[in-house]
Structure 1
Amino acid sequence: MKALIAGAGIGGLTTALFLHEAGIEVELFERADDIRELGVGINMLPHAVKALAGLGLMPALDAEGVRTRELVYTNRFGQIVWQELRGIDAGYEVPQISIHRGRLLGLIHRAVVNRLGGDVISTASRVDAFEQNEGEVVAHFRRHDGSRGEAHGDLLIGADGIHSAVRAVLYPEEGPPIWNGTMLWRGATPWPVWRDGRTMAVAGATFV
């Protein structure tokens, strides 16, 4: 069996690792020119960490991230509204991990290259159409130079993001995502160790 995956982000690469563990051949198509470690910090809850730990990635997660011990909610003046333990300190079998999104993508990408080989990922190749019959699925993709190609497999997985071309084929009348009017600004800044260095804070949020 062979699986085609549109998108080589965190979701697509993780799916590739699980399929490889199950003995299924994989080929990925990524629209970007390269797999770049972009983004800012994210928090992985224990159920997500458990999945990657099952793939043998716990040492890499520990090397790149922080095992979150505590979550603190404060108002905009820094006064604590609520605090609770997280991950192993809250009784889970695996930790919660605070990690830079790019480093998370990087360690999963390295695992795919080491286990499956770098040639399973075609970059600068965007899947924009597919067709399926009783015997196979054919994915059509466009390269950045304008040329086109196709790949044959037993199944196609759409992991190509919020503007998924695969989903657009399945639901052509759905239209673009509906924006609810909320804007989120994210950033990073150098900061000395706060509390124990393993505490996550949410400040100034609206509490009900």
Structure 2
Amino acid sequence: MSNRSKGWGIAVAACVGVWLVQNGSENVTPPVPSAAQAFAAGPNEHTDAAADPLPPSAPVRLRIPEIDVDTPMTRLGLDPKGSLEVPPASDRNLAGWFGDGTTPGAKGTAIVAGHVDNAQGPAVFYALGALRKGNRVEVDREDGRTAVFTVDAIEVYDNEDFPDRKVYGERDRAELRLITCGGGFSEKSGYQGNVVAFGHLIGVRGTAS
């Protein structure tokens, strides 16, 4: 993996969790994925069905009905240190995609990041850990088509053991990663890990404009 890809994991993991500090981390914590939602033995999906990749087109909106996510999308770049930027913390309902990488629905691994909370309360990906295999993720694109993904697994990783290649590695089909902060929480240093949802393209709605 490139250093640019490794930087994404560091950037996404650097979440303070101000809301948890204010409310007390013992009583207010985001959902954590169960072992049953992890890959059984390596990256083997719950279904082999897959749709052909689409041409690149920027995402404009993302929906995850099972956890009531319906969010606009913003383009994310790299900061001066080469790490992935994060969406503005002031906007609780905003997810971002790495604009210099794969666009959702195109061949490869598209990366989408969102905050778990901010100072006002739960944010767009607060419930990401509650997803289950087979749940759907829909991404509306600038070309007028909607890319439909199925969730293959949801896993949580400690910051020090983040599997860059597994999460960010390129694939021969259209895949999606949804990433937010999670795992253990420390009032001194914030979240100790990341929750990652893995998915792949299974369908397309609409026609290119």
Whether TM exceeds 0.5 here: the answer is: no
**TM-score, with structure 2 as normaliser:** 0.22
**TM-score, with structure 1 as normaliser:** 0.22
Q: Which protein is richer in strand relative to its size?
A: 2
Q: Which protein is richer in helix relative to its size?
A: 1
Determine which structure has more spread, i.e. the larger CA radius of gyration: 1
